[in-house]
Amino acid sequence: MLRRTSLKDIAGKVGVSTALVSYVLNNKKEGRISKEVAEKIREMAAKLNYRPNQIAKSLKTNKTYTIGLIVADISNPFSSGLARVIEDEAEKQGYTVIYCSSDENSQKSARLIDALVNRQADGLIILPPADASDQILGLHDEGIPFVLVDRYFPDIETNWVSLDNYSSTFEAVKHLVGEGYKTIGMVTYKAPQFNLQERKRGYLEGLKINGIDFHRDWLREVDVHNDQKGIENAIQELLSLDKPIDAVLFGNNHVSICGLKFIHGLPVKVPQELAIVAFDETELFDFFYAPLTYIKQPLQQMGLMAISILLDNINNGKTSKQVTMSAELVIRKSTVM
Amino acid sequence: MLRRTSLKDIAGKVGVSTALVSYVLNNKKEGRISKEVAEKIREMAAKLNYRPNQIAKSLKTNKTYTIGLIVADISNPFSSGLARVIEDEAEKQGYTVIYCSSDENSQKSARLIDALVNRQADGLIILPPADASDQILGLHDEGIPFVLVDRYFPDIETNWVSLDNYSSTFEAVKHLVGEGYKTIGMVTYKAPQFNLQERKRGYLEGLKINGIDFHRDWLREVDVHNDQKGIENAIQELLSLDKPIDAVLFGNNHVSICGLKFIHGLPVKVPQELAIVAFDETELFDFFYAPLTYIKQPLQQMGLMAISILLDNINNGKTSKQVTMSAELVIRKSTVM
DNA sequence: CTGAAAGCGCTTACAG
DNA sequence: CTGAAAGCGCTTACAG
């Protein structure tokens, strides 16, 4: 690759100091530099196709205008939707986003955090794996600006924005009971993530508050690693109980999709014999013969909030801000008889 | 934020030069440094939680181990799927990927290219907007390593990897004819992208070679900006012709999804009254009562090939390699009576 | 209005 | 085996 042109090259050609070139190209000291010289410098920069070396600039200014974003998997629609919101807003503010996928693996996430911090990212937005509390605590102690999204660790006081997961399922149960459903099951992952635990808690409390006795067979926690099969079995069992369930709640988007695929092939009638509440939004849910009622996360607002907190942290020093956002229950045919 | 610890800090504490610290931490000159000193340095680095400043390193070495990836829209499954493949492979090779979405907008893509080049990305992988040939030519002239994916400009001799778009639709038509379909329509975007043009050409040639007279009403090119409505109208019209079509080919994934949603609500029977061939893969296609036959792009291979060409270019200087990959026609119920 | 100079945190020939 | 020094391409007080 050809050597790129530097400030020095321009300075040399025009016959001024690099300082001067830097000033005019950055519009510093405006009015205090003669118009002719400024003009010459700009012309030469254009002629030589000058591109400021952002790396050198960053080394000096200690700012990279880079934000690291660690999601679970960029090819998952929740992650990529969030990423897109963050990317757009970051660009407006002059930042570039680097994203990486942690695969819910805390070792990988530790590697990614290292890489991002070593690259001097100005701040991080992280959707942390379940067992990442140590690394998050480490980041916190190092004083590196970051905000957690979607999940957080109740023990670590730091910036985060999360869904009100508890209420999301609580409200869903309330709605189902209101529609006359009485035996309400839930299929979710067997996993320690705080957000999943909260959804489970919302489900259980929802039953209780609404005067329904929870039957322990109603809650099915499926192994993440064998999910399609596990979800199918869970649903099959829920429908084969002595008193089968008449409604089912899915704990996240992937469980919803797998579950729906299976139910699609069953003779059961939705919503007459079985009501369904899904999590997150997917085209699939519109497509089902009884369009699905689903719990909608405010992706857009979550992304914007995350970046706004992060930039505040970056620009104004240590902050500790926690934001909980409400889900919207989008009610459609799958839960209304 | 606290000042991070630098080589100098370690050198100071241990009482050696920064040079020595650099050598041991980078495992240079192994065996030529006394074990005790090396040990001390490593201990101190760990104790002070040293993180090498990658920015400073890059300035010196002129390598950032960063690859820029510009897709159309990271929240589109084709883009995020490709991004994921590239991210994984890049990580294996020690590179980090920065991705951005161009929205098929050449001004935005120019801005992104600038930002990435100014950040000294070692190379770029680009899915270029239709009218980006100037900026691509510019990159080429600057000697910056890059490879185009999915689309390319026939006039610019540079690295690219693309689908054999022509054959993809050609084969689909051949299959349809083989199944007995005789009036075959196509719905696609009205857009100049080379890949779309090639798919159109494959469709037209497919008809010709297979002895079917093309009827000009069969080809519907829809405005990108009003796509759902436009696609619905197009399908409606194709089905209302004096001699209605008995098969339809969709020109890309988004057209396929919009089209399928509409057809789903129509009384027309698939595949008896209408065969459908979709483009790309989506869960939706499995879910339709007649699972869709679709044209499958080898995402994985395309991503791997792109990065392998790029790294070759980065490490071994100028290359010019063009790769065309075949699509696979996945035949299912929607085209088999 | 303009320039000489220091320094950001590294790496790496070179000398000893 | 180890260190002094130059330099990557910038920015920015400071001096004139």
**Chains A & B: contacts with CB separation below 8 Å:** 127
Chain A interface disruption, residue of B26, B54, B87, most A CBs within 10 A = B54
Percent of chain B exceeding pLDDT 90 equals: 76
Which nucleotide is closest to the Cα of A118 by its C1'? Answer: C9
> Which two structure tokens, joined as six digits, stand for B249?
């080919």
Among protein residues, the one whose C-alpha sits closest to the C1' atom of C12 is B19
**Nucleic strand C under 7 Å from the C-beta of B60:** yes
Mean pLDDT for chain A?
93
| A142·B73 Cβ contact <8 A | no
Kindly list the residues from chain A whose CB atom is less than 8 angstroms away from the CB atom of residue B64. Answer: 55
Of A261, A264, A287, the CB nearest to B264: A287
Of B1, B77, B144, the CB nearest to A144: B1
Q: Which residue has the tokens 């990614």?
A: A112
What's the rounded Cα separation, in Å, for the pair B82 and B12?
47
Residue of B nearest to A71 (CA): B84
Protein chain A, residues 57-86, with a C-beta closer than 7 Å to any atom of nucleic acid strand C = 59-60, 62
Mean pLDDT for chain B?
93
| A53·B118 Cβ contact <8 A | yes
Is A306 buried (19+), middle (13-18) or exposed (0-12) by CB count in 10 A?
buried
Chain D positions with any atom < 7 A from a protein CB: 1-5, 7-13
Among protein residues, the one whose C-alpha sits closest to the C1' atom of D3 is B17
- Would you say residue A32 has pLDDT above 80? no
Residues whose CB falls within 8 Å of the CB of residue B234, separated by 6 or more in sequence, listed in order: B187, B220, B222
A144 sits in the region (left: phi over 0; alpha: psi -120 to 50; else beta) called: beta
Report the Cα–Cα distance between both ends of chain A, in Å, rounded. 68
Among protein residues, the one whose C-alpha sits closest to the C1' atom of C2 is A20
**Nucleic strand C under 7 Å from the C-beta of A29:** yes
Kindly list the residues from chain B whose CB atom is less than 8 angstroms away from the CB atom of residue A114. Answer: 51
- Would you say residue B1 has pLDDT above 60? no
- Would you say residue B249 has pLDDT above 70? yes
Q: Mean per-residue pLDDT for A117-138?
A: 94
Kindly list the residues from chain A whose CB atom is less than 8 angstroms away from the CB atom of residue B1. Answer: 142-145, 317
In the beta sheet, which residues pair with residue A162? A324
Nearest to B201, CA basis, from B233, B167, B230: B167
Alpha-carbon distances, residue B191 vs A309, B152, B155, B197 (angstroms)? 40, 14, 18, 8
Chain A interface disruption, residue of B100, B119, B264, B289, most A CBs within 10 A = B119
- Would you say residue B267 has pLDDT above 90? yes
**Nucleic strand C under 7 Å from the C-beta of A15:** yes
Percent of chain A exceeding pLDDT 90 equals: 76
Kindly list the residues from chain B whose CB atom is less than 8 angstroms away from the CB atom of residue A98. Answer: 96-98
> For residues A243 and A182, is the Cβ–Cβ distance under 8 A?
no
pLDDT, tens digit (0-9, with 9 covering 90-100), for A48-98: 989 999 999 999 999 999 999 999 998 888 898 999 999 999 999 999 998
Kindly list the residues from chain A whose CB atom is less than 8 angstroms away from the CB atom of residue B61. Answer: none
> For residues B84 and A93, is the Cβ–Cβ distance under 8 A?
no
pLDDT, tens digit (0-9, with 9 covering 90-100), for B197-235: 999 999 999 999 999 999 999 999 999 888 899 999 999
In the beta sheet, which residues pair with residue B96? B66
- Would you say residue B10 has pLDDT above 70? yes
In the beta sheet, which residues pair with residue B249? B186, B277
Nearest to B70, CA basis, from B110, B120, B126, B152: B126
| A142·B49 Cβ contact <8 A | yes
From the CA of A31, how many Å to the C1' of D5? Answer: 39
Alpha-carbon distances, residue A99 vs A67, A224, B56, B98, B123 (angstroms)? 8, 24, 22, 6, 17
> Which two structure tokens, joined as six digits, stand for B52?
């090498």
Residue of A nearest to B284 (CA): A284
| A73·B83 Cβ contact <8 A | no
Q: What are phi and psi of B18, to 5 degrees?
A: -65, -30
Nearest to B286, CA basis, from B236, B332, B222: B332
| B74·A51 Cβ contact <8 A | no
- Would you say residue A283 has pLDDT above 50? yes
Q: Which residue has the tokens 């399922």?
A: A169
**Nucleic strand D under 7 Å from the C-beta of B31:** yes
Percent of chain B exceeding pLDDT 70 equals: 99
pLDDT band at B2 (very low <50, low <70, confident <90, very high): low
What's the rounded Cα separation, in Å, for the pair A215 and A203?
12
DSSP-based three-state secondary structure for B159: coil
Protein chain A, residues 48-87, with a C-beta closer than 7 Å to any atom of nucleic acid strand D = 50-53, 56-57, 59-61
- Would you say residue B30 has pLDDT above 80? no
DSSP character at residue B214: -
- Would you say residue B138 has pLDDT above 50? yes
pLDDT, tens digit (0-9, with 9 covering 90-100), for A61-72: 999 999 999 999
Kindly list the residues from chain B whose CB atom is less than 8 angstroms away from the CB atom of residue A115. Answer: 96
From the CA of B113, how many Å to the C1' of D14? Answer: 37
So what's the pLDDT on residue A2?
55
**Nucleic strand C under 7 Å from the C-beta of B8:** yes
So what's the pLDDT on residue B313?
94
pLDDT, tens digit (0-9, with 9 covering 90-100), for A96-112: 998 889 998 999 999 99
- Would you say residue A31 has pLDDT above 80? no
> For residues A256 and A194, is the Cβ–Cβ distance under 8 A?
no
So what's the pLDDT on residue A1?
46
Q: Mean per-residue pLDDT for A147-173?
A: 96
pLDDT band at A180 (very low <50, low <70, confident <90, very high): very high
What's the rounded Cα separation, in Å, for the pair A203 and B288?
31
> Which two structure tokens, joined as six digits, stand for B55?
């920015």
Q: Mean per-residue pLDDT for B89-108?
A: 92
> Which two structure tokens, joined as six digits, stand for A84?
């897109």
Q: Mean per-residue pLDDT for B128-150?
A: 93
So what's the pLDDT on residue A164?
97
Is A184 buried (19+), middle (13-18) or exposed (0-12) by CB count in 10 A?
buried
Chain B interface disruption, residue of A78, A96, A299, A318, most B CBs within 10 A = A96
So what's the pLDDT on residue A28?
82
Q: Mean per-residue pLDDT for B85-94?
A: 93
Q: What is the DSSP string of B40-97?
A: HHHHHHHHTT----HHHHHHHHS---EEEEEES-TTSHHHHHHHHHHHHHHHHTT-EE
Of B2, B96, B264, the CB nearest to A98: B96
Residues whose CB falls within 8 Å of the CB of residue A46, separated by 6 or more in sequence, listed in order: none
Among protein residues, the one whose C-alpha sits closest to the C1' atom of D8 is B60
pLDDT, tens digit (0-9, with 9 covering 90-100), for A200-230: 999 999 999 999 999 999 999 999 888 899 9
pLDDT band at A318 (very low <50, low <70, confident <90, very high): confident
pLDDT, tens digit (0-9, with 9 covering 90-100), for B293-328: 999 999 999 999 999 999 999 998 888 999 999 999
From the CA of A67, how many Å to the C1' of C9? Answer: 21
What sign does the dihedral A138-A143-A147-A153 (CA atoms) show? positive
